[in-house]
Every structure is written in structure tokens, then in C-alpha cells.
Structure 1
């Protein structure tokens, strides 16, 4: 389970809505608690001067007269979180919901079981989530753990921007957290602190019967959910009016062959619904609801809108081996998370014109095996700087008409970063006589160049004067390289005059 905590969501959402006007000015959002008007949320600048949620607005204005106070909008906050949850559902995992289990909605919860490998693993996935939100102006903390309760607690009370709890590590990580992390009612928290119980570890070690008798079953339920003793299902958000089909079973199923058979029955029905709308699948979720209230998921994506029942069935059935049916599956549901209008294509009618091969099926098969981000092609970018002249695009991205430079040959393999080499050459514009790269000495037999490349001055002052001189060189063993000198060989402001390896020719 992944818990994404957005501690400043209300104020940051307002700032983004207003265009980040005066970000250095403290901002607080006010609402009513009974007859009092209190601060409901405050940004970092406001908290630094002592304005925290819960204090009266009059006191906040006394602390800082220039404090900007606006009305809180809890409905707008929740609607924004639901939109964010739908965004994550389309890009990260099929089971995503707004997390309001602690009272007010303040984050997102996701079940990423079986999908994290599609995003480079758990650390890469969580880091990408936090960075993407930070780029959009939102502060975020994220935790992945075996249970929703543990992930929720650590995201809000743990230390660190990203926390990954290893298997079996929940008891140790929860033991030192305050009891407020268990999402208990305020009255229960107050009663426990009266008894001198302030940490989860101490609470978990106490006898259950007296606690249940005094505080009710909610206390033990939250403890069991955090430690994984009982399930805590997630009610996932759903797109507006999605195309979906479902099948309930009188007797639970679990065999792979049975699951495949019912997939083959549900997919054609789903495709009929899509056909009526003129849409095709781009993102399809198969939800398998087990008897123990757990949900297993399979997600497939397509490079182009598709509603070929056989193709979609094959993609889903390839992932059946990832399903754990547990004690049995009682409900199977197919949901078209993302559907787009189907492209209408003119079939070839000429006897001499050849029909373009459609490789979208192959792309879908490979992408669902290794992950969509691992399948791409290179496209040219208009830039004289070699490392900026190429980018990754989806395998079936349309051609934008850009072409590679034809005047100067480019290496077959371009290094992601130029690597320094030791070289001897005559200045200002002669190629190296020999060079040492990765500990191996190469003697140059012939060379062509220099090709001078200047910096892109419009991107920054540091590139106003820099220059590179590129050479295509061949050593005595017949290997060909692409090296450059940083600078023009005469003026120090153009570069360090050091040599670098940037590519290899076939």
C-alpha cells in the first residue's frame, strides 16, 4: 500500500489556482467550528510565524497583521484530491482513493501490488511521484508498506520524504510512533494519554480485553488494520461514466483456466459497449474481488485505442500468473479506465500501393511485459548540442517531421554523458595524436575535423562564449571515435581546453 500525504494541500491548491501570487506572503484558510472562526489550514510561511491550524482567526491576525486570510473550501479540496486520484489511477495503479480515514481528506492511498515494476521499482516510482508533485507546487510525503494503516501512519508521523517499509518491518517501524497515527477518535486518544499510553508499541503490548471494554472495538480494529491482521479494503475512485462489465460467481473460482475463460466472456461484452461509443481501450483494469475482501488487479495498456476482443483477452491472460486467488474470487470486473475515440483509417485500395504494417499489437505485447516506459524510440530535436539533439518518444508517436542533420555524420552510439580522456594534440585546431580512454591508450591513424559547435546563448549566460571542437578519429586498430575539445584552443573563456569522448561509430 502507498500512502501519499499532502500536508499543505488546501493552501497550495489555492495558491496554484491564483497563479502563485505573492508566494512569500503567509496564507491561512479560515472556517467555522461552532460559533468560532478558526484557522483550518496554514502554509509554511504562516506556520513559521506561529499560525497553526486550530487557533482563532483573531489571534492569528494579532500575531501577524499582514497575514492573508481566505475562506476554506473543503469541497473544492476534496474535488481536487479526487481529480488527482484519477490522474494517479491512469498512470500508477488501478486501485486509488482519496485518503480521508484520519478525518479530513489529506492525501491519496494506492494499492500498487503488481504495478510498481512497471515504473522502475518502488524507490523510482515513489521518487517520481514526489518530484512530479513538487514540480507542480505541492509538498508531499509518501510511504509504502504492507498495510494501509501502517503506510498512513508513517507518511504523517514518520521521518523522511520517502519511506519504504520492508516485509516484516511494520512492528518495528510503528512502535515509536504516537498513538495519534492510528486514526483513532479524539476521545480515545485523550483517554489513552490519561492512562500514560502515548506510543503504539506500548499500546500493542497491552491486553486487548480491558482496552476493548473501556474504549470499544474501534481501538483494536485500527491496531489490527495497521499490523495487517484484518483487511482494510480501498474503495477506488472511478472515472465519470466508465464502460465496465462485471460477473458475480455463485461459487468462488480460483483456477487459472477458469479465470481465463471468464475473461474471454467479459472482454467481448466490454468491446460492444465501447463500439457503441466509438471508443477504444487505452487503459484497462481487471479487478478480481476475493472472499477475504482483498482485490487483485491486472492492468494492461495499449499504444493506440483498441477494441479487438481477441487481442485484449490475450494481453489480460498473459498476466493471470500474477494473480493470487486466495480463498477464491467471488466477483470479476473489467473497467475501461481510459478510452479514446478510435481512429478511422482508409484501407489501401490501389493495386500498387502497399498497406502500412500495423505493429501496435506487438508494441502492446512487449509494453505489457516489460513496462511502457521501457519501450520507446529516439526522435531528433532541433539543437546543435549533440546530447540535446535527441529525445525519447513513445514507440508509436507520430512523426513531427524533424530530421537528423545531414551535413555532418553522427556516431552510432552517443554516450549519455561525455567522458574525459587524456589526449595530446597541437593547438589550436589539430586532432589528437593519441588519447587514453578508460585506461586504454589509442594511437590516432587519421582524423577529420574540427566541427565547431557553439553554446545555445538563449538558454543562459554561461553558454554565451562556450565552444566545442569535434573530431572524427580512427585509431590504429580501426576503431572510430567522436571526441571533442572543450574550447576553441586559444581563448580560455570558451572552455577548459580538456578533451572528452562523446560517441562511437560503427
Structure 2
């Protein structure tokens, strides 16, 4: 069916057939959910009509909530057209809240779904801004409430209550929140007060998460609620043994693990860990989970714990050889040269964007000659002979951008005698250079004639710097002859 065709789904409301949903083309022509089908057909001749499938839509929404577990340990359907995702403690694995939301919306858009998203401290605020906010992607500051200028529909009240409130003159949340509470509650019930308290952040609101049955998982419940980290650690050890046994039987390894703490008050606490490569080593996974226990608030106690493999990958069989004379220094569990456990621990502590390796890029311009890549990704460029020049030393640290300095030097190609950086004067004792680097004219027109002359210099205190002059020292067209500090050896 062409995208420009107006399309609606129809459901029964008593003896009438009404519009259940309308695509963007139909809405632009004035059709709205709840409108009678006869009226819609009169407004838009040639309207494409399909019967609504509420059960199928609900099942698809639950499946989509399960798909969203890639972003956070807790996700749930919010019928008829929404999703809850509890991203507490998980956004650092996705590069931050904004990066996670943009990636989520982009993936959903690729699947043909129109999506808006918001992240906030409370579900009520996120729900309101995702549906009624000005931007399709919104990151709400901490401790913020639902904006008072949003319409009262953002409170998730039944349509009958919303219609009655609008007849009374309440159009925005701010006016409703400032009105006397008791008369409104007597007329509309306690739900109105609950929604207002949730919108202001005064009332806690939990979600019922989706846990797909096909996921490898293990759950342990307790006779007495647990409260201490030591007790949690003991349970983690048992759960990882159970989960890793199932992973081994399936020939899989965990890429992401979610540990759910079911508290006695009915709420959930969750921690998530990720692995740079598929893993099923019990001690390694348990240790990473133990390191995140400080984030758990047990409240009045935890009555059950569940460990779920939210992402996995295939792992081939690994044959290990253990010498009977081995004293333990060469444990077969983790190979001596395997840095994956170290990478996993660093990523889970610092965040995925802060742990990376540098790969060479074919460019003579120093700041363009490296790129960030995942720490365990194969360095394919090195196989083609790509790398940094061995005969031209490069500093261990580059400044981005290069810092301007005041330098004294004889033109055109002498090194500086002294330079001043951040109000500190450095007298040069030794120098080597120049190393001339021309601009990449095929990338930028402004670099057609540009030149940099680099010098390695050492001051009287033994500190070594990498300086360059912008220009060849004689022709003004090649640069303005200013000096910059670009790195440290």
C-alpha cells in the first residue's frame, strides 16, 4: 500500500464502528481516533480501512518491551502505545541518557515505528514529556516535575474525567494542581489525587517488568528477607553457577547480565553488567556483580533475587590443559594474556565510552592519525601495514586543540630558544627538527598551501615537548608563523 494512502483501523463501540487509529496521512486530513467511521468516510473518500486487532497489538507491544531490554534491565508495556524502560544505572553503558534515547528512537524509526522518548526521575514526568513535550527526545533534569503548562491529558486520566475537567475550565496541569484538592477528589475519585502526586514526584510508582521466558535465567527466593551485601554476594555465587551451567549447555556466553532484587515492598532494584566478549566464567561474572552491590538499596529486605542473561552470544568449545604440577600461578580459568576480564571490570566501573584503544589512521596530520575503537576489537588496519611511522617519534599525549605559546626562534627553520606556556617560561636546552607536515588539501580547501614545522624540544628541567610553527618561516601564505604546543613526550 502506498505511503500516501490514508489508513485507519476500526473497532466497535456498542453498535457503532469508530476509528481506533489513523496514520499520519489520515490525521492530516482531519481524522482522529474515536471518530465514527461513517463521518471519516464522508470526510475522506477512498479511505483504506482495516479491522483493529487489540490482542495482537498488545502482544506486539509486550514483544517490543522485551526487545527494549537491550537498553536496561527493566522494561514493560504501557498500553495502548507506550513502553516503560527503567534505565537506572544503565545509561553509562550506552554513552549517556541522550545518546541512549537517540539510539532507541533511531532503531524504532528504522522498523517503521513513529517514536518519541523522554527520560526522567519518575515515570509520570517521562510519560508526559514523551507524549506532550516539544521535542521528540527529551532528557529531563533531576528532581523535575511535570511542567504545569502541559495539558491535563498528560496526567493519564480516563477520557471521561478529562472531558469533565475541561468543562470546568481546567486545561493545564498547573491550574488543576493549584485548585482545592478535596472537592475534586469527592467528584472524580482518588485517582485524580494519585496522578497529581505522581506528577509532582511525591508518590512512588513501580512498573511490572517483562522477562522473556526464552532468556536464560535463575531465581532464588528466601524464607527471611536479606539485607546485607555479604548475603547478596553468597546468593550471587549460587545464581552465577546456575546460569553459567545453562550457558555452557547451550554453547552460549553472556554479553549482558541483569540481577533483579525483589524487595518485600513489591519494588525492584536492578544492577546490570556487560561483557566485552561472550563469557561464562563463574568467578569473573560474580566478581563484577559484587562490585555493583553498593548501588543496591534493599529497603526493608529482599525476598528473592533473579539473574537474567539479557544478551548472549555463541561461544565455541575451549579445551584447557592443566598440569598436575601447576601451583596455581597459571589458572586455567583465565588465560594469562586474556585482558577481557580487566576490560569488563573497567567498563562496568567507568562506562563504555571511557574504555577504548587507539587505532592508527592513514593521515600525516597528528590529530587525525588516530581513532577510538572498542578495546577488544581486532586491529584490522595493522594487518595491512598501517601504523604510525617508526622513525618519527610521536608524543604519548596530544593536546586537543593545540595550545598557543609565545616562542623566540630564528626564521626560517631554527628551533625555538625559549617559549612561554601558561605564564611559565621554558628555556630550550636541546631540540630536533623541523619535521614538515603539509595540509591535506583534498579534505579542506584552506589546507591547500598550509604547512606545519614540528620540533621536539627539551627544557632545562628535562621536560620534553612537541611544538610546531604554523607556516614555513618565509612564505606568509603557508601560515601565520604562530607557535603551538601539541604534545608531551
Return the TM-score normalized by structure 1. Answer: 0.75
1:40 aligns to 2:13 (yes or no): no
Match of 1:256 among 229, 238, 241: 229
Aligned to 1:288: 261
Aligned to 1:440: 424
Distance 1:272 1:204 in 2: 54
Distance 1:292 1:116 in 2: 26
* Helix, strand or coil at the partner of 1:459: coil
Within 5 Å, give how 1:174-253 maps onto structure 2: 174-206=147-179, 210-212=183-185, 214-228=187-201, 230-238=203-211, 241-253=214-226
- Tell me the alpha carbon deviations over residues 6-32 of structure 1, each in whole angstroms, 9 at most, x when there is no partner: xxxxxxxx9xxx9xxxxxxx9786324
1:391 aligns to 2:371 (yes or no): yes
Q: CA offset at residue 85 of structure 1?
A: 5.9
Whether the aligned pair in 1 keeps the contact of 2:73 and 2:258 (CA below 8 Å) is: yes
Distance 2:18 2:203 in 1: 40
Aligned to 1:7: none
Aligned to 1:449: 433
Q: 1:443 to 1:233 in 2, by over 3 A?
A: same
* Helix, strand or coil at the partner of 2:127: helix
Distance 1:481 1:390 in 2: 19
- Tell me the alpha carbon deviations over residues 33-64 of structure 1, each in whole angstroms, 9 at most, x when there is no partner: 56788993449xx99xx767739699799xxx
Q: 1:265 to 1:498 in 2, by over 3 A?
A: same
Moved more, 128-137 or 242-251: 128-137
Moved more, 241-250 or 293-302: 241-250
Whether the aligned pair in 1 keeps the contact of 2:10 and 2:51 (CA below 8 Å) is: no
Whether the aligned pair in 1 keeps the contact of 2:10 and 2:49 (CA below 8 Å) is: no
Aligned to 2:86: 111
1:382 aligns to 2:362 (yes or no): yes
* Helix, strand or coil at the partner of 2:230: helix
1:129 aligns to 2:100 (yes or no): yes
Aligned to 1:311: 284
- Tell me the alpha carbon deviations over residues 282-339 of structure 1, each in whole angstroms, 9 at most, x when there is no partner: 2100111223332100112223322222332232223223211223323321110111
Q: 1:386 to 1:295 in 2, by over 3 A?
A: same
Distance 2:106 2:433 in 1: 42
Aligned to 2:451: 467
Distance 1:137 1:491 in 2: 55
Match of 2:407 among 404, 411, 423: 423
Aligned to 1:166: 142
Aligned to 2:36: none
- Tell me the alpha carbon deviations over residues 84-117 of structure 1, each in whole angstroms, 9 at most, x when there is no partner: 8667633x421234554xx433xx5322323346
Whether the aligned pair in 1 keeps the contact of 2:9 and 2:50 (CA below 8 Å) is: no
Q: 1:135 to 1:483 in 2, by over 3 A?
A: farther
Aligned to 2:37: none
Aligned to 1:11: none
Whether the aligned pair in 2 keeps the contact of 1:126 and 1:162 (CA below 8 Å) is: no
Distance 1:433 1:158 in 2: 60
Whether the aligned pair in 2 keeps the contact of 1:29 and 1:71 (CA below 8 Å) is: no
5+ residue gaps in structure 2? 12-16, 34-39
Q: CA offset at residue 220 of structure 1?
A: 3.8
1:488 aligns to 2:488 (yes or no): no
Match of 2:396 among 412, 430, 438: 412
Whether the aligned pair in 2 keeps the contact of 1:231 and 1:293 (CA below 8 Å) is: no
Moved more, 437-446 or 267-276: 437-446
Match of 2:121 among 133, 138, 146: 146
Aligned to 1:31: 8
Whether the aligned pair in 2 keeps the contact of 1:447 and 1:471 (CA below 8 Å) is: yes
Whether the aligned pair in 2 keeps the contact of 1:243 and 1:336 (CA below 8 Å) is: yes
1:364 aligns to 2:344 (yes or no): yes
Distance 1:82 1:432 in 2: 68
Whether the aligned pair in 2 keeps the contact of 1:94 and 1:297 (CA below 8 Å) is: yes
User: Aligned-residue CA RMSD in angstroms?
Assistant: 4.2
Whether the aligned pair in 1 keeps the contact of 2:9 and 2:51 (CA below 8 Å) is: no
Q: CA offset at residue 202 of structure 1?
A: 3.5
1:94 aligns to 2:73 (yes or no): yes
Q: CA offset at residue 451 of structure 1?
A: 1.8
Across the two proteins, how many residue pairs are aligned to each other? 458
Distance 2:61 2:480 in 1: 50
Aligned to 1:320: 293
Q: 1:404 to 1:344 in 2, by over 3 A?
A: farther
Whether the aligned pair in 1 keeps the contact of 2:9 and 2:49 (CA below 8 Å) is: no
Q: CA offset at residue 221 of structure 1?
A: 4.1
* Helix, strand or coil at the partner of 2:96: helix
Moved more, 188-197 or 135-144: 135-144
Return the TM-score normalized by structure 2. Answer: 0.77
Q: 1:83 to 1:500 in 2, by over 3 A?
A: farther
